Chains A and B, each alone.
Chain A
Amino acid sequence: MHKLYTFLKYTFITLWTVFIVAPFLWAISTSFKDFQSVNSKVTYIPWLDFEPTLEGWRVLVKSPARGGVDIVEPYFNSIFVTCTASLISIILGTLAAYALSRFTFKAGFVRNNDITFFFISQRIMPPIVLSIPFFIFLSTIGLLDSLLGLVVVYIVLLMPIAVWIMVDFFNRVPKELDETALIDGCNPYQAFYKVVLPNSIPGLIVAGMFCIIFGWIDFFFAFILTFTEVQLLPVKVVALNSSITPWWSLSASALISVAPLIIVAFVVERYLSKGNLSGALK
Chain B
Amino acid sequence: MELIMAKIDLSNISHTYNPSDPNPTYALNPFSMTWENGKRYAILGPSGCGKTTMLNIVSGLVKPSKGKILFDENDVTNLITEERNIAQVFQFPVIYNTMTVYDNLAFPLKCRDFSKEKIEERVKSVSDTLRLSSFLNLPARKLTADQKQLISLGRGLVREDVAGVLMDEPLTVIDPDLKFRLRRNLKEINEQYKTTLVYVTHDQNEAMTFADNIIVMDQGEIVQVGLPKDLFERPKTTFVGYFIGSPAMNIFESEVSSDYSVKINNIEIKTNSNLSKIKDKNVKLGIRSEFINVAEKEGQNTIKALLTRVEDFGNFKLLTANMGDFVIKSKVNREMPISHGDINLYIPPEKCCVYINEKLI
Contacts and interface: CB of A to CB of B under 8 A. Distances in A.
Interface residues of A, number: 17
Contacts of A79: none
Interface string B60-95: 110000000000000000001110001110101010
Interface string B143-178: 000000000100100000000000000000000000
Contact of B80 (A174, A182, A190, A201): A182
B30 interface: no
A190 B94 CA distance: 17
Nearest to B162: A183
B112 interface: yes
A198 B98 contact: yes
Nearest to B87: A183
Nearest to B20: A106
Contacts of A180: 88, 90, 94, 152, 155
Contacts of A185: 82, 108, 111-112
A143 interface: no
Interface residues of B, number: 22
A195 interface: yes
A184 B155 contact: yes
A273 B81 CA distance: 39
A179 B96 contact: no
A188 B83 CA distance: 11
B97 interface: yes
B291 interface: no
Contacts, number: 53
Contacts of B98: 198-199, 201
A186 interface: yes
Contacts of A184: 107-108, 111, 155
A189 to B, nearest CB: 10
Contacts of B107: 184
B94 A174 contact: yes
B225 to A, nearest CB: 25
B82 A176 contact: no
Nearest to B86: A183
B59 interface: yes
A177 interface: yes
Interface in A166-199: 174, 176-177, 179-180, 182-188, 190, 195, 198-199
B240 to A, nearest CB: 30
A178 to B, nearest CB: 9
Given A174-B94, A199-B98, A182 B108 contact: no
Given A183-B87, A185-B111, A190-B111, 17 more contacts: A174-B92, A176-B94, A177-B94, A179-B88, A180-B94, A182-B61, A183-B59, A183-B86, A183-B88, A184-B111, A185-B108, A186-B111, A187-B80, A188-B82, A198-B96, A198-B98, A198-B99
14 contacts: A174-B94, A176-B94, A179-B90, A180-B88, A180-B152, A182-B60, A183-B61, A183-B87, A186-B82, A195-B96, A198-B98, A199-B96, A199-B97, A201-B98
Q: Which 8 A-B pairs have the closest CB atoms?
A: A185-B111, A184-B108, A182-B81, A198-B98, A180-B94, A176-B94, A183-B88, A176-B90
